[in-house]
Amino acid sequence: MATLHSTHCRSYSLISSSSSSSSSSSSSSSSSIHGHQLLRAKSSSLLPKRFLSLQSQRNCRSNVLVMKDGAVATPLTPVENETPLKKVKDGLLSSSVNPPSEFKEAASFDVNQNESTVSITVVGASGDLAKKKIFPALFALYYEGCLPKHFTIFGYARSKMTDAELRNMVSKTLTCRIDKRENCDEKMDEFLKRCFYHSGQYDSDGNFQELDKKLKEHEGGRVSNRLFYLSIPPNIFIDAVRCASTSASSGNGWNRVIVEKPFGRDSESSAALTRSLKQFLEEDQIFRIDHYLGKELVENLSVLRFSNLIFEPLWSRQYIRNVQFIFSEDFGTEGRGGYFDNYGIIRDIMQNHLLQILALFAMETPVSLDAEDIRNEKVKVLRSMRPLQLEDVIIGQYKSHTKGGVTYPAYVDDKTVPKGSLTPTFAAAALFIDNARWDGVPFLMKAGKALHKKGAEIRVQFRHVPGNLYNKSIGTDLDRATNELVIRVQPDEAIYLKINNKVPGLGMRLDRSNLNLHYAARYSKEIPDAYERLLLDAIEGERRLFIRSDELDAAWALFTPVLKEIEEKKIIPEYYPYGSRGPVGAHYLAARYNVKWGDLGIEQ
Ligand SMILES: NC(=O)C1=CN([C@@H]2O[C@H](COP(=O)(O)OP(=O)(O)OC[C@H]3O[C@@H](n4cnc5c(N)ncnc54)[C@H](OP(=O)(O)O)[C@@H]3O)[C@@H](O)[C@H]2O)C=CC1
Ligand SMILES: O=C1O[C@H](COP(=O)(O)O)[C@@H](O)[C@H](O)[C@H]1O
């Protein structure tokens, strides 16, 4: 039985434009579209198993992707049996299989086993994240035909609101895809009619029972699958999970809970949170979100590594000098200082987003693309890392700065920030992986708020060419002539490789050029927001992009000692002007490991 109704929700094939070797491949057919050679595998059996496993898990994709150059990607094989949403036997909070005692027995009402429904409850629906990200992502999925036929969305929070008021609030944040505006208003109306609201306390079983009653009315006796998105402050996670599980969980379908960061603020508090969650949930019902894992270019990292022969042999200490993970924002904590001050930039960005990307970058080849295989490899590489040392970290905090007649505030000018706070808004760190592949390679991280630009990227700096014949044509700065692979996660997504080439002409002068996969030039389709991908994954039961508890433990083990030391020793951050490139200490740190940050030059 297919539970996803849309016939155009399909997975993509691996397809490439222009290949000189394509004609010789017996396993492929080639055709010419708009003058471009297309290579299309005839049968899915030609692909390695691990790619197929991903294909068969994903149900929601447009079936045709038109590239800017006119090349067309279609599904490799028709999806004959779309994967049904996980069923009770998958053991997801299913009361019939190993039910945690807190969970209810299967509902006694008559169910039509041929129909199932998904109810998504946004807990904390009145909040910033719900408005900014969750409802718009749900609408985008609806617009793309990716939500199941029978679904209902409930907002839940303490604020008093009617269904109409929730719809009005949500409608203000919905936008249509840039490349698909057809019937947008109509679609929005249809979507909003599927959104409802229930007001209640987060610790009230009675209020969750009322929600349960309403959910049942909408589910109409179908097999009921329930997803709870905890979009609330962490101090009320457990109350909400307890009430949802004891009073509003499904008795005959799956139940899943999406948890937003922060997952604690150190090893101890994170472990305590996990223990509390596990009183009510099995590990595979917990979907810990790190939204950077849902970003297109982060998803592409593994494809780049494992589906291109040219990269994997280079992916080690033998050829890579250093790797840099850089995050910057050109605005401060404005308005979120209350939350931020308790965490700081290391917990807010490094311990999760940047470390997750590092793990994907550095892990060994997983056995398959199955969630557990990937997460096993991530845990292994995280556990091979050295806990961060104080001398390998520098911290900064932005101070007020006046530019062009405008005065930008200092971090401590934020009214929600305690006076004299030492919380870092910038940090740079050098991390090391003590395994055979990466021994001695510095993995540098840099993250900051209120800097001169907004962006996130991975930079891979390769070693010098040994005995370079062209040294004379390059000049004295050999570093400038090494290859660098840049994966620009955002904005303006791109993957480019810096190479040396000859300047055309009779002389012998070398130049630096980029082999550039620039997404906006290559693809006409707008890149989906990370929350769309992650919500769809949670609905489909795909856990690959969510963080398992042992990954979380390993991540905290790397950062907890240094965070404690910074706090106990009250280390004073280096102050940098709002809108600048950040503290100079970051350069000294990099220089200690013979590294130059790649994002500094004119030619980046
Ligand atoms: N906003 C963002 O960009 C990001 C947020 N997050 C995380 O997502 C979660 C939600 O974020 P966000 O929407 O910004 O959070 P909000 O502070 O906006 O809180 C969400 C809702 O929770 C309720 N709430 C707030 N404070 C309390 C409290 N002390 N006690 C009980 N209820 C409270 C409020 O609803 P009501 O009063 O109606 O009950 C509020 O609308 C948090 O865990 C946050 O850390 C993660 C990444 C980014
Ligand atoms: O998790 C967080 O991420 C945002 C940055 O996310 P992005 O997708 O806009 O790059 C950051 O502003 C926030 O402080 C942090 O909590």
Cα of 126 from ligand 1 centre, angstroms: 8
Q: Which atom of ligand 2 is least distant from the CA of 454?
A: 10
Please work out whether the CB of residue 159 comes within 6 Å of at least one atom of ligand 1.
yes
Cα of 348 from ligand 2 centre, angstroms: 8
Averaged confidence pLDDT in the chain: 84
Per-residue confidence (pLDDT) for residue 467, from 0 to 100 = 83
5 given a catalytic annotation: no
Q: Percentage of residues in the chain with pLDDT exceeding 70?
A: 79
Residue type, 369: L
Q: How confident is the model at residue 475 (pLDDT cuts 50, 70, 90)?
A: low
Place of tokens 């910057």: 328
DSSP for 353-394 reads: IIHHHHHHHHPPPPSSSSHHHHHHHHHHHHHTBPPPPGGGEE
Ligand nearest to the CA of 156: 1
Q: Is the CB of residue 423 less than 8 Å from the CB of residue 411?
A: yes
Cα of 416 from ligand 1 centre, angstroms: 15
Mean pLDDT of 31-36: 34
Per-residue confidence (pLDDT) for residue 471, from 0 to 100 = 79
Convert the pLDDT of each residue in 562-571 to its tens digit. Answer: 999 999 999 9
Ligand nearest to the CA of 449: 2
Residue type, 127: G
* Catalytic-labelled residue, pool 150, 218, 353, 518: 353
Per-residue confidence (pLDDT) for residue 468, from 0 to 100 = 77
The candidate with the shortest Cα–Cα distance to 187, out of 171, 164, 163, is 171
Tokens of 387: 């806990």
The candidate with the shortest Cα–Cα distance to 240, out of 338, 136, 121, is 121
Q: How confident is the model at residue 179 (pLDDT cuts 50, 70, 90)?
A: low
Q: How confident is the model at residue 376 (pLDDT cuts 50, 70, 90)?
A: very high
Of 98-102, 153-157, 356-360, minimum mean pLDDT range: 98-102
**Rounded-to-integer distance, Cα 98 and Cα 56, Å:** 27
Per-residue confidence (pLDDT) for residue 185, from 0 to 100 = 85
Name, in order, each residue with C-beta under 8 angstroms of 30's C-beta and a sequence gap of 6 or more.
19, 22, 23, 37, 38, 39, 40
Name, in order, each residue with C-beta under 8 angstroms of 148's C-beta and a sequence gap of 6 or more.
3, 4, 5, 85, 116, 117, 118, 539
Q: Is the CB of residue 332 less than 8 Å from the CB of residue 578?
A: yes
Residue 501, SS3 per DSSP: strand
Per-residue confidence (pLDDT) for residue 236, from 0 to 100 = 95
Q: How confident is the model at residue 68 (pLDDT cuts 50, 70, 90)?
A: low
Name, in order, each residue with C-beta under 8 angstroms of 444's C-beta and a sequence gap of 6 or more.
322, 323, 324, 325, 428, 429, 430, 431, 589, 590, 593, 595, 597
Q: For residue 291, how many other CB atoms are within 10 A of its CB?
A: 19
Please work out whether the CB of residue 259 comes within 6 Å of at least one atom of ligand 1.
no
Please work out whether the CB of residue 155 comes within 6 Å of at least one atom of ligand 1.
no
Residue type, 151: F
Residue nearest to atom 1 of ligand 1 (CA): 129
Q: Is the peptide bond before 262 cis (omega within 30 degrees of 0)?
A: yes
Per-residue confidence (pLDDT) for residue 92, from 0 to 100 = 34
Of 96-100, 436-440, 516-520, minimum mean pLDDT range: 96-100
Using a 10 angstrom Cβ sphere, with 0-12 exposed, 13-18 middle and 19 or more buried, the burial of residue 109 is exposed
Ligand nearest to the CA of 233: 1
H/E stretch holding 325: strand 320-328
Please work out whether the CB of residue 124 comes within 6 Å of at least one atom of ligand 1.
yes
Mean pLDDT of 119-148: 95
Cα of 569 from ligand 1 centre, angstroms: 31
